[in-house]
Amino acid sequence: MIVTEHIDFQTKGNAEMTDLTAKVTAAVERSGLLAGVAVIFVSGATGAVTTIEYEPGLVEDMKDALERIAPRNVEYAHNERWGDGNGHSHVRASMIGPSLTVPFSDGKLMLGTWQQIVFLDLDNRPRYRRVVVQIMGE
Amino acid sequence: MIVTEHIDFQTKGNAEMTDLTAKVTAAVERSGLLAGVAVIFVSGATGAVTTIEYEPGLVEDMKDALERIAPRNVEYAHNERWGDGNGHSHVRASMIGPSLTVPFSDGKLMLGTWQQIVFLDLDNRPRYRRVVVQIMGE
Amino acid sequence: MIVTEHIDFQTKGNAEMTDLTAKVTAAVERSGLLAGVAVIFVSGATGAVTTIEYEPGLVEDMKDALERIAPRNVEYAHNERWGDGNGHSHVRASMIGPSLTVPFSDGKLMLGTWQQIVFLDLDNRPRYRRVVVQIMGE
């Protein structure tokens, strides 16, 4: 059986992190399914999903690491062509990736105790975001 | 229901990017399934899949970012042992990852408007590549 | 049909790599399923899964690349708050990601010949680890 849900939210951009764990957990509970996977997917090229221990220190530390991989202030061919100044956003999003697959069993996501599902808004401006939660199971 | 397809293509290597979106879309349509996921998987250790806004600027920008993570001209223990000079290719591929899971609904992949599914050939020479598209749904 | 298994093992931490391929292969065989996907998922915020050609050279090369992305000896806000000195572990794990989806067909994982499924223990100390293998198919 397959259930498709969405999570809609406002972000501030600039590597802001949003904790989606409670909403994904609720979607799995609403599905009534006991075993399967929740696929969390970002429709859009400047956002990404991963897991992390969601606490303010690591939110800052991820920003620093993203600056190492794709610094904001180097030259991007994307910016020269399109002028929207978010070349670094695209590169960062492609590196981390738009999809995450989390298994569940007995109706519960199999996350670690200190592990949250997070959305990273890597764009350079506030965005209204929609994340897909596709639940497949039995 | 599960449908397995392959996409076969020639690449040039050296971080060349191939847009697979049209072929994955066609595979989902051929499957006749309405809701589910398409798993795109690279069989091989020097390729990777992700999504990106596929335009020439970002193709170049990804190359620069990959050079930051795993530069071509630093020492690799892999190269010392195997002599094929593609240590950087392996490291880059493992960082980005070989699998991508894209949900679909109403028979359509839930990608953003400016978001394409791409294969990155990170090897240091042209390759003939086969990417698996496994479609699961109902 | 869905089958959930676990792989339990001891690690040394510090970017140690464990080859899980044989155990995932055995789990798929035990499931009796012919086509589907195996989702490999790390429950925990300082481990990651990916694929690589598992050989000692690349094990070292991955350590060097992880040092580039999230060096051990820079300042982490996480360390200032929590004092466990593993800020770099968290950042590295979130970058590589906790989930990997590998399709199988005819009861066999569709990996390349030189491609293994590996767990990276990015924590800064030995850990006892449990990795989930969720098999979905028909």
Kindly determine whether residue B70 and residue C69, on different chains, have CB atoms separated by under 8 Å: no
pLDDT classification of C5: cutoffs 50, 70, 90: very high
What's B86's domain CATH number? 2.60.120.460
Report ipTM for this prediction.
0.97
Give the pLDDT confidence score for residue C83 in this predicted structure. 87
What is the SS3 string spanning B21-67? HHHHHHHHHHHCCCCEEEEEEECCCCEEEEEECCCHHHHHHHHHHHH
Give this prediction's pTM: 0.98
Give the pLDDT confidence score for residue A113 in this predicted structure. 96
pLDDT classification of B82: cutoffs 50, 70, 90: confident
Res. A17: pLDDT tops 90: yes
Q: Cα–Cα distance between B95 and B70 in angstroms, integer?
A: 9
Q: Which residues of B touch C137 (CB under 8 A)?
A: 2, 136
Whether B124 and B19 have beta carbons less than 8 Å apart is answered as no
Give the pLDDT confidence score for residue A82 in this predicted structure. 87
Angle between helices B56-69 and A56-69 (to 10 degrees): 110
Q: Which residues of A touch B65 (CB under 8 A)?
A: 69-70, 91, 95
Which residues have CB under 8 Å from B112's CB, separation 6+?
Answer: A42, A43, A44, A45
Res. C82: pLDDT tops 90: no
How confident is the model over A57-84, as a mean pLDDT? 96
CA distance A135 to chain C (A): 12
Q: How large a percentage of chain A has pLDDT more than 70?
A: 100
Res. C115: pLDDT tops 90: yes
pLDDT classification of B113: cutoffs 50, 70, 90: very high
Kindly determine whether residue C112 and residue B74, on different chains, have CB atoms separated by under 8 Å: no
Q: How many CB pairs under 8 A join A and C?
A: 104
Pairing assessment for the beta strands B108-109 and B99-105 based on DSSP bridges: antiparallel
Cα C81 to chain centroid, rounded: 27
How confident is the model over A110-125, as a mean pLDDT? 98
| Candidates C69, C81, C136; nearest CB to A65 | C69
B-contacting chains (≥3 CB pairs under 8 Å): A, C
Q: How large a percentage of chain C has pLDDT more than 90?
A: 97
Q: How large a percentage of chain C has pLDDT more than 70?
A: 100
DSSP conformation class of C46:
T
Kindly determine whether residue A93 and residue B52, on different chains, have CB atoms separated by under 8 Å: yes
DSSP conformation class of C81:
H
pLDDT classification of C6: cutoffs 50, 70, 90: very high
Total count of domains within chain C: 1
Average pLDDT, chain B: 97
The alpha helices in chain C, defined as continuous H runs, are 21-31, 56-69, 77-82, 87-96
Mutate to test the interface with A, among B17, B24, B37, B39 (most CBs of A within 10 A): B37
Q: Cα–Cα distance between B42 and B45 in angstroms, integer?
A: 8
How confident is the model over B102-111, as a mean pLDDT? 98
pLDDT classification of B57: cutoffs 50, 70, 90: very high
Q: Cα–Cα distance between A66 and A64 in angstroms, integer?
A: 5
Average pLDDT, chain A: 97
A29-68 burial code (b ≥16 CB/10 A, e <16): eebebebbbbbbbbbbbbbbbbbbbbbebbbbbbbbbbee
Q: Closest Cα to residue A42, out of B99, B109, B20, B42?
A: B109
pLDDT tens string B35-53: 999 999 999 999 999 999 9
CA distance A128 to chain C (A): 23
The token pair that represents C126 in the structure block: 């030995």
Q: How large a percentage of chain B has pLDDT more than 90?
A: 97
What is the SS3 string spanning B112-126? CCCCEEEEEECCCCC
Q: Cα–Cα distance between A41 and A44 in angstroms, integer?
A: 9
C-contacting chains (≥3 CB pairs under 8 Å): A, B
Res. A42: pLDDT tops 90: yes
Domain, as residue range, for A94: 2-137
